[in-house]
Structure 1
Amino acid sequence: MFYGYGGIIWQGTLVTIQLSLLSMLVAFVLGLIAAIAKLFGSKILVWFADIYTTIIRGIPDLVLMLVIFFGLQIGLNHVTEYFGMAQINIDPFSAGVITIGFIYGAYFTETFRGAFLTVSKGQIEAGTAYGFTPRQVFQKIIFPQMMRFALPGLSNNWLITMKATALVSIIGLQDVVKVSQDAGKGTYQFFYFTVIAGAIYLAFTTLSNIVFWWLGRVYSTGKKKAEL
């Protein structure tokens, strides 16, 4: 069925899963920080967050990936050369996580910012009046409600982020796309292995939709009880 390439396709699939999850984590954290900076930060933080989202959303992902990947390596080379150290090469996996997470953190920023704005200011004021600290207000009032409104956008961003991992094949990472291409070249069955790679991504997205459906039910529990 896999012409002897089943093992490397499985390994490439595991690399894709790991890359997707870690990139999602980086994008989630960056997006949350940038959204908070835009809404609650000082003017300079708002300015930096605006520049970040504007630049990232205005340049194609493939171009950004090449710029960030080679830019990181060039910058690191300058640092090691300045201090007289041996050259350090960034491995493709780490570069892929940083690059994809940095790119899609901008999209997560706008998702979180819109979700934050849906939380009633009256509830925040009520929490403060009850003696909650700012951290408690965020953890117990803002974040749970924000997540309910953010989940549709997060689901969409996650699917896009996961599919964007296919771009890392251009920097040499042995993900499922790269190993499928290698298998196609080795067997002259390019279309067949491309379909296999597509089927693997489709399985991931289907499973992801089920997970986000479940999360939607979890974060909507309190709302449903209140309506009843």
Structure 2
Amino acid sequence: MVFLSVGDVGWGDELLAGLGITLLLAFTALPVGLFLGACVAALSVSKQRVATTFALLYTTIIRGLPELLTLFMIYHGVGLLINQLLKWLSPNNGYFEFSPFLAGVVALGLVFSGYAAEVLRGAWQSIDKGQKEAGFSLAMGRLQIFWLIERPQIMRLALPGLGNLWINLVKDTALVSVIALNDLMRMTNIAVGSTKQPFLFYLTVCVLYWAVCIIFERVLGYMEKRANRGIRSHH
């Protein structure tokens, strides 16, 4: 167990620092994914053909690409594009290094948004249309109807699906270790390479990921229970 101790001898502090980066990455990617997913969901329920077509293409492409490939395309592709643009603007511009953390946030946010858009669209379409008509009859604007009537119901209906996507997002952060971000998985690989104790470290990381996911599942369960208070269940 000396390998897992905190200090110069063990790797405990490095693993905890990696866990901190992992959680920071997940919590930063979440609002990005939710915002993009909500925008795409709004387009998908629009009456405009162009908007619905764009939403369908977006979700099909994002969900059709492996997460790792999306990460590589963002990290290498966007980095290359920025450097090409800088050179085009001025040949004297130096090399811009695209942050692995930022690339991870963008890639994981995009992946989350592709699935979240479908969850939110399903929730949106399941709301009784009579409520919107009632809002119009009370001289409420479209934005008021969405914010006061539709939004709370969408979040309640979408919460279980979004909760599952959040758990997947936390686990998907492990992919970012391949672009040299010092997250939990990368620090574990470094520790294994240094100590030649793969079973000990990978088992420890399994327990850490499992514990984190269990905590989040408990929190999500509480949020679902709170969101459904006062709602009569139909059997």
**TM-score (normalised: structure 2):** 0.92
Aligned to 1:54: 60
Q: Distance in 2 between matches of 1:74 and 1:45?
A: 30
1:44, CA displacement in angstroms? 2.0
Task: Give the aligned residue type for 2:108.
Answer: I
Q: How does 1:198-213 map to 2 (within 5 A)?
A: 198-213=206-221
Q: Which moved more, 1:212-221 or 1:92-101?
A: 212-221
Alignment partner of 1:86 is 2:94: yes
Aligned to 2:43: 37
Cα deviations by residue, 1:1-39 (Å, 9 ceiling, x for unpaired): 315111111110100000011111111111111000110
Identical positions, percent: 32
1:184 to 165, 187, 192: 192
Q: Which moved more, 1:159-168 or 1:3-12?
A: 3-12
1:110, CA displacement in angstroms? 0.4
Task: Give the aligned residue type for 1:162.
Answer: V
Runs of 4 or more, structure 1, over 6 Å off, are none
1:104 to 104, 112, 116: 112
Task: Give the aligned residue type for 1:125.
Answer: E
Q: Which moved more, 1:33-42 or 1:168-177?
A: 33-42
Aligned residues, how many?
226
1:221, CA displacement in angstroms? 1.6
The gaps in structure 1 that reach 5 residues or longer are none
1:41, CA displacement in angstroms? 5.7
1:88, CA displacement in angstroms? 1.4
Aligned to 2:154: 146
Task: Give the aligned residue type for 1:81.
Answer: K
Task: Give the aligned residue type for 1:120.
Answer: D
Q: Distance in 2 between matches of 1:89 and 1:162?
A: 25
**TM-score (normalised: structure 1):** 0.94
Alignment partner of 1:14 is 2:20: yes
1:195 to 200, 203, 215: 203
The gaps in structure 2 that reach 5 residues or longer are none
More helix by share: 1
RMSD: 1.5
Q: Distance in 2 between matches of 1:27 and 1:7?
A: 30
Alignment partner of 1:160 is 2:168: yes
